[in-house]
A = this chain, B = another copy of it.
Amino acid sequence: MAGASKPRLGLIGFGAFGRLTARYLAASFQVIAHDPAATDGEGVATLADLGAAAACPVVILAVPVGALEETLAAITPHLQPDALVIDVGSVKVKPARAMQAALPPGVRIVGTHPLFGPQSARDGIAGFRIAVCEVRGAKAARRVAAFCRRALTLKVFQVSPEDHDREAATVQGLTHLIARVLLKMEPLPTRMTTASFERLMQAVDMVRHDSPAVFHAIERDNPYAAGVRDRFFALAEMARGELDEG
């Protein structure tokens, strides 16, 4: 059977992003997913207990950044000595440190951040972006990058966790903060709209359904996010002052 001959891949977490991951990896792997909340593999994964998923040669952690440490503690006893562990969180410095600290020395570690989500990936992911960070094992990082490029046709950026978080603090930190404020201002106008306002609303719509956990990871678990926020608000206050003045 073709399915049985594919390499096994453990997927810890079968939420919105876990399911998206399984959908695109099912062509290349037999996906063994674990998630206490999941009841159906949706044709792209076989649900299993934590031990079975964690014992695969490749293990992807698709859990919220806030749940990463407890997940690492739970999977460690089941990992193969030379397993490859990959996370997919929206920030990279903190998870890289947590994985380094928790996982046995033979385990190779790669951090990834797919710069898209279930909303934007609705019509496919070809040409979308992913950041790949070497954490432990240069060869493993290159393999993951090559797979993303060739099999998933993603645009790959190999960067350090620090460089990633520095850019993401602006890219995601600002977008989510602005979107969150605009969502609180709803209902917003829909009649006399301009092209630029419509783009702004499209940006809002793309993150509208992101979970509070994603928002918190982006804003709180990124060591550079508070600095970007401070800068944005300082400049905004300056612009506001100039306007209210005259």
Contacts and interface: CB of A to CB of B under 8 A. Distances in A.
Interface string A215-246: 00001100000100101110111011001101
A1 interface: no
A182 B178 CA distance: 11
A203 B192 contact: no
Interface string A84-100: 00000000000000000
A200 B205 CA distance: 11
A206 interface: yes
A4 interface: no
B235 A195 contact: no
A168 interface: yes
- The number of chain A residues touching the other chain, given as a range, is 35 or more
Interface string A179-192: 11110110011011
A192 B168 contact: yes
A219 B203 contact: no
Interface stretch (A11-19, A53-61, A141-149, A169-177): A169-177
B175 A189 contact: no
Given A194-B172, A196-B206, A197-B175, A240 B229 contact: yes
A199 B203 contact: yes
A171 B184 contact: no
Contacts of A195: 116, 120, 128, 206
B177 A193 contact: no
A199 B199 contact: yes
A131 B179 CA distance: 27
A83 to B, nearest CB: 27
A142 to B, nearest CB: 19
B236 A115 contact: no
A159 interface: yes
A181 B236 CA distance: 6
B185 A197 contact: no
Given A199-B200, A244-B226, A232 B192 contact: no
Given A116-B195, A175-B200, A185-B231, 17 more contacts: A115-B193, A120-B195, A128-B195, A131-B192, A164-B192, A168-B192, A170-B185, A171-B189, A171-B192, A172-B197, A174-B200, A177-B236, A181-B236, A181-B239, A196-B202, A196-B203, A233-B236
